[in-house]
Structure 1
């Protein structure tokens, strides 16, 4: 995290963009339009070749000191995790919030989340409901919906309760566009794992947070998660990459929790899920080979 004493903002918002000109303005405007105004916005360009950088330079000119464009040292594509870590290295806020370049925040997100976090200094993170957003496209053939939170809303949860539920797919993940984290949590636990360039990249931080920090889960709606054919999640599902990516994440998490001295309870929960998912994947692989 950057240590810049000049007018430190309360919140650092970080957007990673890679050829995201189509939706980028809408994402940035949802930050600029927050009722809570004590923020800085860092937009990390991950090697875009479209007009994304030009769009952000326009915001830099209109909002000097509030919006900054960052890039990697070689101006090439390094993936979402490395780009989020690039933003974290420059972040000055007491709190950090991420927003993908195709998603949006609702206007009261930061105001309401900061208020809850400041009422309980022990909280490491807060998240709420996220709209799974199809209606942005008038031609969409699916209705908007919300995933069940999986726990009672408007309550604080001690670790590792939420991690155990997340491993079992019994709780909504703290979506990247929704969560607000205390910046000190990154100093303690580290950021995102650079080797995860696409799928499960957000979970490489969220899993650590849920394992070690108290988290508040709200019933409030704070973000819209845009659904479209060009998204990373759709591309992964189309390629059949979701299952291998989940197993790779579980293997990584198993090692990280051992390195960070996690309790036997946490490590046992991860190992059980990893063993089950690996067995299922091997069974499906054998079945496909037999059918050829």
Structure 2
């Protein structure tokens, strides 16, 4: 058992869960107990589970009453990921907040090393590192074929177009988000100052099951510096029953991605107006990101035009005419 301290917990750890089962959920919780840094509190936030995961959470809360806390929505409702993350945030007492999904795990030095880094950068609202895509938890993981991993390739790291081990000024990472560049930090990788949540209002509850992290990151990236580390502190479990794997297995993956991105862009447009953001580059990148959705036929045509000089004159003139009519929207 971890030694308890009387001082205010510095890190509030939040695991949200919905029908998380037992095995993965327990592994996630135990990875927090295995941290080399023990000045933490843990909130297990139940999004209306109907399986044994509620019982698992209650047992931990009963066993460690000064360390682990069980939370649920009124009448055990299912309200989605954003509302459940906000439930944990409202109860958090730590100076920092860190999230772990119920099927992922932290590596033992995560909290210790992240606290050491972010304390050196008081202007940083958030810190995140690389994430390991964890295929090897299962010897015959079917997700390997989905991602076309080589036979000798085990657990690749996330790839990012951001330079590591430095503070990134706003709105640099938001601009890359809008270009759909590889800078998507996993929720289990980040640690955030609690003051950041108070300033930004937490997660947007209209995003129930997907892209809620992207929306929150965008709010941070727009206004605050963020430290990006080359270290890996977490494992993102690749398994066939996750939200996105299920969507792809049912043949709905690409549609879900496109619908989700359009919803995200629509929210961001409204948010920029509400925040009275005048940055012309942000607006330009947003309009460019909207282009495939607002002009789908033109976008499909232009995708085929890699080398205009090989096109017939008629096709090229048609493309130019269509482009000119929409050009104002992407300037």
Is contact 1:8–1:92 with CA below 8 Å preserved after alignment? yes
- Paired with 1:27 and 1:53, the residues of 2 have a C-alpha distance of 14
Structure 1 residues 193-212: aligned runs within 5 Å: 193-212=204-223
SS in 2 for 1:216: strand
Q: Render the CA deviation track for 1:168-226: whole Å, top value 9, x for unaligned.
A: 12232121110111110111111111111112111111111111110111000011111
SS in 1 for 2:283: helix
- Paired with 1:277 and 1:208, the residues of 2 have a C-alpha distance of 22
Instruction: Give 1:280 deviation, angstroms.
Output: 3.9
- Paired with 1:270 and 1:211, the residues of 2 have a C-alpha distance of 13
Q: Which residue of 1 aligns with 2:16?
A: 16
Please state if 1:160 is matched with 2:171.
yes
Query: RMSD of the alignment, in Å?
Result: 1.7
- Paired with 2:225 and 2:106, the residues of 1 have a C-alpha distance of 23
Query: What is the aligned counterpart of 1:242 among 257, 266, 290?
Result: 257
Q: Which residue of 1 aligns with 2:182?
A: 171
Please state if 1:253 is matched with 2:253.
no
- Paired with 1:182 and 1:9, the residues of 2 have a C-alpha distance of 13
Is contact 1:46–1:78 with CA below 8 Å preserved after alignment? yes
- Paired with 2:230 and 2:237, the residues of 1 have a C-alpha distance of 20
SS in 2 for 1:223: strand
Is contact 1:243–1:281 with CA below 8 Å preserved after alignment? no
Unaligned runs of 5+ in 2: 1-5, 145-153, 301-331
Structure 1 residues 73-112: aligned runs within 5 Å: 73-112=74-113
Is contact 1:27–1:103 with CA below 8 Å preserved after alignment? yes
Q: Which residue of 1 aligns with 2:130?
A: 129
Is contact 1:24–1:52 with CA below 8 Å preserved after alignment? yes
Is contact 2:179–2:285 with CA below 8 Å preserved after alignment? no
| Range 42-51 or range 161-170, more displaced | 161-170
Using the size of structure 2 for normalisation, the TM-score is 0.80
SS in 2 for 1:26: helix
Q: Which residue of 1 aligns with 2:46?
A: 45
Unaligned runs of 5+ in 1: 1-5, 285-292
Q: Which has the larger radius of gyration?
A: 2
Instruction: Give 1:130 deviation, angstroms.
Output: 0.2
Is contact 1:199–1:236 with CA below 8 Å preserved after alignment? no
